[in-house]
């Protein structure tokens, strides 16, 4: 892949496998080991259209989850 730069800070992007946290049909799902380009400077993650399609395929029911996690949810509006 060609060397690319971050659209936010201009840092170098590196290919990495990341965990993506995404809402799908009102449920949060985790997708591990998604190929992404990660900025070495600010940490912003960028996904190629192919990686996006892969995620959609996985979470839209073509695969079973490898495991299920319980997620604690907090609301910052309620913080004092
Ligand atoms: Zn950056």
Q: What is the pLDDT of residues 28-53, one digit of tens each?
A: 999 999 999 999 999 999 999 999 99
Quick check: 34 and 18 in contact, CB under 8 A? yes
Which residues are in the CB-under-5-Å shell of ion ligand 1? 6, 8-9, 11, 39, 41-42, 44
Q: How far is the CA of 31 from the centre of ligand 1 (A)?
A: 22
Q: Is residue 66 part of a domain?
A: yes
How many folded domains does the chain comprise? 1
Range of the domain at 33: 13-78
Quick check: 48 and 37 in contact, CB under 8 A? yes
Q: How far is the CA of 12 from the centre of ligand 1 (A)?
A: 7
The CATH number linked to 63 is 3.10.20
Q: Looking at residue 27, what is its pLDDT? A: 87
Q: Is residue 8 part of a domain?
A: no
Q: How far is the CA of 20 from the centre of ligand 1 (A)?
A: 18
- How much is the mean pLDDT over the chain? 92
Q: Is residue 36 part of a domain?
A: yes
Q: Is residue 41 part of a domain?
A: yes
Quick check: 11 and 20 in contact, CB under 8 A? no
Q: Is residue 6 part of a domain?
A: no
């Amino acid at each position: 892949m060609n060397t690319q730069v971050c659209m936010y800070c201009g840092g170098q992007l590196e290919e990495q496998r990341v965990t993506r946290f995404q809402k799908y049909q009102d449920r949060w799902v985790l997708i591990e080991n998604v190929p992404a380009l990660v900025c070495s400077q600010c940490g912003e993650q960028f996904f190629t259209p192919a990686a996006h399609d892969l995620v959609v395929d996985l979470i839209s029911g073509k695969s079973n989850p490898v495991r299920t996690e319980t997620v604690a949810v907090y609301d910052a509006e309620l913080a004092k």
